[in-house]
Structure 1
């Protein structure tokens, strides 16, 4: 069995080995070792818009290029040139012939010409389920089922488009759904296929935030084992019945993350978000690899406040108001933090950036919330924000989503999607070179009160409305 220290070292090494994002030209996986050449010519793309052309060939040769060029030193043989569709705003650029083959001979130059044309990419939504109280959707990686979390305390399984009659889990007798509470999310362990562990985030009758580990039944993979329950953490949330946060998730480092609200009430009256001795208004990071009754979690040694008096070592980040939904994407973390009365924000940071303070309740977005103590020193301001506007014309409560990594709409790769409970829209942006770009609004059917996104085992995205309808985001048919 690995020690906690060794697990942490391995997790840190895994982060260091994460591939860099946004590289225009990747190095070949194997030196080609030949005298042939291949020229790839690109035409039809707007100036400055990089392509995504993949070349593969003999001896496991693999390279991705973003512009036309000649590849030299190639071994003789057959090469495959694949041009992915790319997106700029709402315009999709596709190659007339997405896949071409070229034969490279010694001391000669083969040529492949790729011609692009643009068209407007339109998205639509397709209703896939109607579950009263639906609040989240997820699945283990690669699993064809969808697991729908019901706020009252059940988790339902949807298989081949139909809801199974027996819930995967039913803990309604232990869940209190008063105010913004209830069973709010679930997360499958990265090694779920082997250990069968999944984790849930809910509020109990005493108004506490509770995270538990459960196990799937060995006899029926569509049912949880009712007796296999381990409480991971219980966080007191006295007083108000709002601002619980609500998401539990595993990061790329294998650690368990949970984002808690500030305890509720307008303006964080208890000052929890800036209090490093409180677990409210925080992002927490726990090691649950060897969870057991006597020790449900271990503090990762790389957590920023380990060994510091008066500061809880579970804390990874602070200064959050109500981070209802957040998402990991490779080496980045996107936190959608619900604002007070003026601004909604998305905080974006590297997954290894520990101890960040996102500013609440000193700041609301980039605005001073508490003018008496409005000192921005040491605060991490949002990467993206929007103002509510008059009569909440732009929205009132951000609903954070995910970065698209599915296969059905390949042009959307890397776009972060979000909505708003009052706005009812679907929007996205691309985070590149430490900035937000290519903001886009997608014309979809009117959906009232979008309260959550979901992501299935193939990376496809879903919208969940407060009325309980669950929609899959799809490519709109061509007119």
Structure 2
């Protein structure tokens, strides 16, 4: 029998135990309450999973995704993009190029519908083929064409004819009326004629352009003209002679190009005066302007001062040499071109070798060695002193019976959009063989990736041309112009 005292203690313990349990359960008087069902946070965004295939290791895709709320993102690798607003997304894939192969995407454009809480899928498959080039005839029937150029932002092609006319070609049709006709003042003997044209960097504002021709007294002449009120006609009375260089003795090696450099100055390449082997010794004589690359400032030309000397010309003070000279020791730099801050000079050789020189536009005062050297070889001797000379970045031998060529025709570094595999490659030809070749020059000037494109024979290539989109053309002595295109292109 429990005593009364023990029964009391037991009742107290029971009460305390019940109170503890009720407290732990949220009790202790009143309703314990209920939480009810939990409402989940709504999902308002979706995702897009992009996969790519067909590209070799190390080559990135080029995909742009656009969608609602001005969404845009560029991808180079497979990826899942989350947090996208529901709606329709466009996946646009661009071709990519590597090692002379262009990889085409399929599909090039597609759409994907992104819904909230759902991952949409899109895939791009690339396939590639090695680049092959050919030419497409643009126009024919020209009279001894020598040069082709387009003003910035202008789709027209301006072509010089050696007899003294500038023609305009639009959509493959040559305008009947020439843009400029200076036949009465042009000497057409030998290698003479109207040889090139350059548009002023401010042509859209001032209408100025410059021509390089041989006059009736056999002077190399640079003259500025102005376009008339009709944009298809220049004003033939607007001429301002900028520079004349006497070339009295021979009918060859007259140079032939005038071009604005990236620095805004006017560059021109003069021949050595003609005759075999530079008999006058002009090319390395810094007191004459023959056999040189010249550089002048025509930004403020007037009748009394047609040009000024740029402040960093190497012989500006006129003590060591003529202040117009930028480089010396060239034989006949018929064609040269700029690519950014680099100058490519194709210098026609004598009997054995052709050369292409590459230099930064900051490297004034270089001596390319003619007539001590022809290409990388000593001219007319087994040994020669090469101290102070700049050797060509590239040269080639004529070979037996000129099997490799006889007269280099310089071109351009390709910067167009139609042939991305060619980007950064310098294209050139040879007057005697008409082939099309290219190479890549590294930042240090080392030449690699030389290639012959094995185009169909189009005849003697006298020059290259470049339009305002960076596409390249080949000009033949037969009067035709051919655009460089991808094989199979229309």
TM-score, length of structure 2 as denominator length:
0.80
Distance 1:233 1:338 in 2: 23
Does 1:181 pair with 2:182? no
Q: Any idea what the Cα deviations from partners look like across 1:424-459, whole Å, max 9, x if unmatched?
A: 111111222432222222232212211111112222
Distance 1:261 1:312 in 2: 16
Does 1:155 pair with 2:166? yes
Match of 2:360 in 1: 350
8 Å Cα contact 2:358-2:393 kept in structure 1: yes
Going from structure 1 to structure 2, the CA distance change for 1:59 and 1:348 (only over 3 Å counts) comes to farther
List gaps (5 residues or longer) in structure 1: 1-37, 105-109
Give 1:88 deviation, angstroms.
Answer: 2.2
8 Å Cα contact 1:87-1:412 kept in structure 2: no
Give 1:403 deviation, angstroms.
Answer: 1.4
Match of 1:206 in 2: 217
SS in 1 for 2:411: strand
Correspondent of 2:430 among 400, 420, 427:
420
* Counterpart mapping for 1:49-64 below 5 A: 51=60, 53=62
Counting matched residue pairs gives 436
Going from structure 1 to structure 2, the CA distance change for 1:467 and 1:459 (only over 3 Å counts) comes to same
Going from structure 1 to structure 2, the CA distance change for 1:323 and 1:293 (only over 3 Å counts) comes to same
Q: Any idea what the Cα deviations from partners look like across 1:288-336, whole Å, max 9, x if unmatched?
A: 0111101100100011111141401111111111110011111211111
Match of 1:192 in 2: 203
Correspondent of 2:334 among 324, 346, 368:
324
8 Å Cα contact 2:208-2:225 kept in structure 1: yes
List gaps (5 residues or longer) in structure 2: 1-47, 115-119
Identify the range of structure 1 (321-330 vs 364-373) with the bigger mean alpha-carbon deviation: 364-373
Going from structure 1 to structure 2, the CA distance change for 1:195 and 1:386 (only over 3 Å counts) comes to same
Runs of 4+ in 1 over 6 A off after TM superposition: 38-42, 54-65, 69-72, 74-81, 99-104, 110-114
Match of 1:474 in 2: 485
Distance 1:297 1:147 in 2: 25
Give 1:347 deviation, angstroms.
Answer: 0.8
Structure number with greater Rg is 2
Going from structure 1 to structure 2, the CA distance change for 1:41 and 1:210 (only over 3 Å counts) comes to farther
Match of 1:124 in 2: 134
8 Å Cα contact 2:106-2:125 kept in structure 1: yes
Give 1:76 deviation, angstroms.
Answer: 8.5
Distance 1:71 1:332 in 2: 43
SS in 1 for 2:184: helix
Distance 1:232 1:397 in 2: 29
TM-score, length of structure 1 as denominator length:
0.82
Going from structure 1 to structure 2, the CA distance change for 1:411 and 1:168 (only over 3 Å counts) comes to same
Correspondent of 2:277 among 250, 263, 267:
267
Correspondent of 1:402 among 412, 418, 440:
412
Going from structure 1 to structure 2, the CA distance change for 1:161 and 1:261 (only over 3 Å counts) comes to same
Q: CA RMSD in A?
A: 3.3
Q: Higher relative contact order at CA 8 Å, sep ≥6: structure 1 or structure 2?
A: 1
8 Å Cα contact 2:93-2:124 kept in structure 1: no
Give 1:43 deviation, angstroms.
Answer: 5.6
Match of 2:251 in 1: 241
8 Å Cα contact 1:189-1:198 kept in structure 2: yes
